[in-house]
């Protein structure tokens, strides 16, 4: 009981530390000592004008909606449901939208696949899961969202300060006001929802206009998703995941994580059966739905690569399953096209 009480007190203190004070809520972030130190660092490391940055932070406030959205659910075991998650992303809206998107951008997708080795359906599925093909790119001011997380969310403040730094560099490189950019509550930007560091490292000019624009250029978004996956180790022509059956308690195998570490044969020796090359490295994936049997899969290297985009097995599986449905529907459409044309004649 003492340990539980200590844990609760620690969690409460961290939560309270993350909340902005009344002074910070009523004044701009430029008055915050941590923000002032950050501005000084941007000047020393990257030559930013202190007065200019101070004016930009002066119009920002800690965003309570952002800080609420980033926090884990109070009872995570009751929130985690593969069935509910899958319904959000693998559905008729995203399938129909994906087929339309594929048809409209077929040549660009074919070029991205040829250059980066990533199947068109995987690129389409990621864009579909992220923003419904550019329809929902986020309405939060990216500068305010990143600043709120960088200075008022202690569990990941270091990460978000890095992203805030990268965002300011990105805005300067592209000649845009950082106050003008909208994105997700976590600071992800554009059609493919790249974090600023990912945009600076992996985004490409795929439409040949000598600039990278992930907010308006679908070719840039398509090429950038392909390059991101390629640079994270996508293996062309290799499988993503296969269903598995588990005998016994898989806790120790699940504890190995989502990075492939055992061969399919080694999993088989420990009660995990799947139809796959016995020498292929895999990880055991559990897709949990409260009140239903847990679904098990073996995820291979390409599954792990998808989790570099979003570090969630639910996310990677949703992308994979949407991609498979898109691939099958696109193949059926292509097979029916000659018949339709023949009938028209």
Q: Which residues are catalytic?
A: 130
- Assign 140 to helix, strand or coil: strand
Give CA separation, 66 vs 34, 93, 148, 198, 258, in Å. Answer: 19, 27, 7, 21, 28
Gap between the Cα atoms of 1 and 221, Å rounded? 52
270 and 316 Cβ atoms separated by less than 8 Å: no
Contact 251, 272 (CB under 8 A): no
DSSP 302: H
Strand order of the sheet with strand 272-273? Answer: 262-263, 281-287, 295-299, 241-246, 272-273
- The helix (run of H) or strand (run of E) holding residue 141 is strand 140-141
Q: Phi and psi for 282 in degrees, rounded to 5?
A: -150, 170
Instruction: Measure the CA–CA gap between 238 and 166, rounded to whole angstroms.
Output: 33
Phi/psi for 213 (5° steps) reads: -135, 95
Phi, psi of 181 (to 5 degrees): -90, 130
DSSP 49-61: -HHHHHHHHHT--
As a whole number of angstroms, the distance between CA 147 and CA 60 comes to 8
Q: Is 281 exposed, middle or buried (0-12, 13-18, 19+ CB in 10 A)?
A: middle
What one-character DSSP code corresponds to residue 270?
Answer: T
- Rounded CA-CA distance 174/63 in Å is 25
């Amino acid at each position: 009981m003492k340990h539980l009480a200590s844990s609760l007190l620690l969690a409460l203190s961290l939560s309270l530390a993350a909340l902005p004070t009344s002074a910070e809520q009523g004044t701009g972030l430029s008055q915050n000592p941590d923000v002032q130190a950050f501005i000084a660092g941007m000047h020393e490391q990257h030559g930013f004008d202190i007065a200019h940055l101070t004016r930009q932070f002066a119009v920002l406030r800690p965003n309570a909606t952002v800080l609420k959205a980033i926090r884990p659910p109070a009872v995570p075991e009751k929130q985690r449901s593969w069935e509910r998650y899958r319904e959000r992303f693998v559905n008729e809206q995203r399938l129909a939208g994906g087929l339309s998107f594929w048809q409209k951008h077929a040549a660009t997708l074919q070029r991205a696949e040829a250059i980066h080795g990533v199947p068109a359906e995987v690129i389409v599925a990621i864009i579909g899961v992220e923003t419904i093909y550019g329809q929902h790119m986020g309405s939060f001011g990216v500068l305010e969202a990143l600043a709120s997380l960088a200075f008022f969310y202690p569990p990941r403040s270091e990460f978000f300060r890095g992203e805030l730094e990268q965002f300011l560099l990105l805005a300067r490189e592209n000649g845009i006001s950082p106050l003008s950019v909208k994105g997700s509550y976590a600071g992800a930007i554009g059609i493919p929802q790249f974090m600023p560091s990912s945009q600076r490292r992996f985004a490409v000019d795929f439409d040949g206009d000598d600039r990278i624009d992930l907010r308006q250029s679908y070719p840039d978004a398509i090429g950038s998703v392909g390059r991101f996956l390629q640079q994270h180790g996508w293996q062309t022509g290799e499988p993503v995941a296969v269903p598995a059956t588990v005998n016994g308690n898989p806790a120790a195998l699940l504890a190995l994580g989502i990075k492939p570490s055992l061969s399919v044969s080694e999993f088989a020796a420990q009660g995990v059966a799947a139809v796959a090359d016995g020498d292929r490295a895999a990880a055991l994936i559990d897709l949990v739905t409260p009140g239903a049997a847990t679904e098990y899969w073996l995820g291979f290297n390409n599954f792990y690569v998808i989790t570099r985009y979003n570090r969630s097995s639910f996310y990677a599986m949703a992308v994979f399953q949407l991609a498979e449905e898109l691939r099958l529907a696109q193949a059926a459409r292509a097979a029916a096209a000659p018949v339709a044309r023949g009938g028209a004649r």
